Chains A and B, each alone.
Chain A
Amino acid sequence: MRFYEYESRRLVEAAGIPVTDYGFAQTAEEARKIAQEIGGPTVIKSQVLSGGRMKAGGVQFADTPDEAARHAEAILQLEIGGHMPRGVLVDPKAQVKQEYYASVVWDGTAKKPLLLFSDMGGVDIEEVAEHHPEHVGRGHFSNLLPFSDFQAKQVIAAAGVTGRELTRLTPILARLAGLFQDRDMTLAEINPLAQLEDGSFVALDAHMEMEDEARPRQKAVLAELGIADDDVREVHEPSPFETKVGAVDAADHRGVIQGKDTGFHGNLGLVIGAGGGSLTLTDAVRSHGGDPANYSEIGGNPSVAKACGLAKAVLEKDGVEKLAVMMSIVSNTRVDIVARGVIKACLELGKEPSETIAIFRIPGAWEEEGFKILERYGIDYCDRSISMHEAARRAVASFQEDPAEAEAEAARP
């Protein structure tokens, strides 16, 4: 989960890294007050969970409290990347001598945290790494042994920094490494890490992301920041469909279902599973010219009610007339239970199952029983001898009005 900048700064501050005397405001009036207290030029920054704030006009400079309030007013109403801001951060305009960069990320290949540092801060680190590799220092550190200052020094020195700067930066990087580990971060970034005219260092911006899986054990920290359990911070705001499927899943502990439709605009409803199978089948449908209305995942042997709930949510989406029910060979989820669920969904919505379910391809556990049910309702089904791609092709073909033309269309490479 991603933190807002004002939250990230609090985390950084709590870890003992200096920050500016900033304030968080949710109204223009609050922003004016904070600017007054700061008593000089300020920067007004949109608190939004998407990048590209600067370009979108979400960062403005103000010389007076009135100007700060005016900017805050505008920024609070400015949507950036599909997100409305949570508020604005009012920051004293710092007298910066030089901007540095520091971050910690996971390296999945080394399976260790990676500490990154550059004396060229304020810009995209990937670009610096590409064009000025000699200005980037990096080093892995252990997950079992405690972090030691020399590891920070090595990384700072590798970027070509020495002297007073090196000794002053060392504890900051060491604390950032500690913050990354203690708080289960997946990204802990300070950019820019600014050296002010008086030689001191402050974090001018911070970007922190915490691993969702670690939220239970970081409860105290999240509570301190006022972040509720249901504040999930998805990249996109959940759609009505996503909310509905989430509620069906939460209502019953048996099995797991997921549904997403952000970025999907088609009319073919997908009731598919499990993790890898869903990815494969979504691709397969699209490769045959099909346009999915959604993405979904069934796993862990859900109840009939849960499978039914997912199928209903998909069928209730605007423009969805048919469902394709498909999975890779199942060993835990039961074919007959899923068959019952999707048929039940059709019946409860007053739809004819044989006309609504374009194809049913789930081979595996309890398939004999499942196929009996499908036969009873006249549903087109297939076993493992029909590949996932062929099943997807049939689903897409069933959409075309002229079956012969559809066959020809689908057969085209």
Chain B
Amino acid sequence: MAGIFIDVEVSDDVRGDCELAKKLQEACPVDIYAAAQEGVEVVEQNLDECILCGLCVETAPPGGVRVLKLYDGGAALER
């Protein structure tokens, strides 16, 4: 489930990457990512706390993570 204002999309290519999951967990200042056994887990209750810093987008490989601004027609932070 998405947040009210923010959603993140983790591509299937990187979802199972446990190393990346740890890095994302460390990078995100508002704890949107958790490193689970199966890889990257999105903590839904923290989605709306996103401060649009873009650190997760930088941390993941190109196309790995997109941050969607649901209030802005789905405009995305991506690379």
Contacts and interface: CB of A to CB of B under 8 A. Distances in A.
Direct contact of A and B (CB under 8 A): yes
Interface in B9-61: 30, 48-49, 51-52
Contacts of B5: 340, 343-344, 373
B54 to A, nearest CB: 13
Contacts, number: 26
Interface residues of A, number: 15
A372 interface: yes
Interface of A: 303-305, 334, 336-337, 340, 343-344, 347, 369, 372-373, 376-377
B51 A340 contact: no
B51 A337 contact: yes
B1 interface: no
A343 B48 CA distance: 11
B48 A304 contact: yes
A193 B71 CA distance: 68
Nearest to A308: B48
A376 B71 contact: yes
24 contacts: A303-B30, A303-B49, A304-B48, A304-B49, A305-B49, A334-B51, A336-B52, A337-B51, A340-B4, A340-B5, A340-B48, A343-B4, A344-B4, A344-B5, A344-B48, A347-B4, A369-B52, A372-B71, A372-B72, A373-B5, A373-B71, A376-B71, A376-B72, A377-B71
Interface residues of B, number: 10
Contacts of A340: 4-5, 48
Nearest to A303: B49
Closest 9 CB pairs of A and B: A376-B71, A373-B71, A304-B48, A340-B5, A304-B49, A372-B72, A303-B49, A344-B4, A340-B48
A340 B48 CA distance: 8
Best-buried of B4, B30, B71 by chain A (most CB within 10 Å):
B71
Consensus secondary structure, chain A interface: helix
Contacts of B72: 372, 376
B11 to A, nearest CB: 25
Contacts of B52: 336, 369
A337 B52 CA distance: 10
Contacts of A347: 4
A62 B58 CA distance: 79
Contacts of A334: 51
A369 B52 CA distance: 10
A204 B4 CA distance: 63
A86 to B, nearest CB: 42
A337 B69 CA distance: 13
Contacts of B71: 372-373, 376-377
Contacts of A305: 49
Nearest to B29: A254
Contacts of A377: 71
Given A304-B48, A343-B4, 7 more contacts: A303-B30, A304-B49, A305-B49, A340-B5, A344-B5, A369-B52, A376-B71
Contacts of A336: 52
A334 B49 CA distance: 12
A304 B71 CA distance: 15
A340 B72 CA distance: 13
Contacts of A303: 30, 49
A379 B4 CA distance: 16
B1 to A, nearest CB: 14
A366 to B, nearest CB: 8
A356 to B, nearest CB: 15
A376 B49 CA distance: 18
Nearest to A374: B71
B38 to A, nearest CB: 27
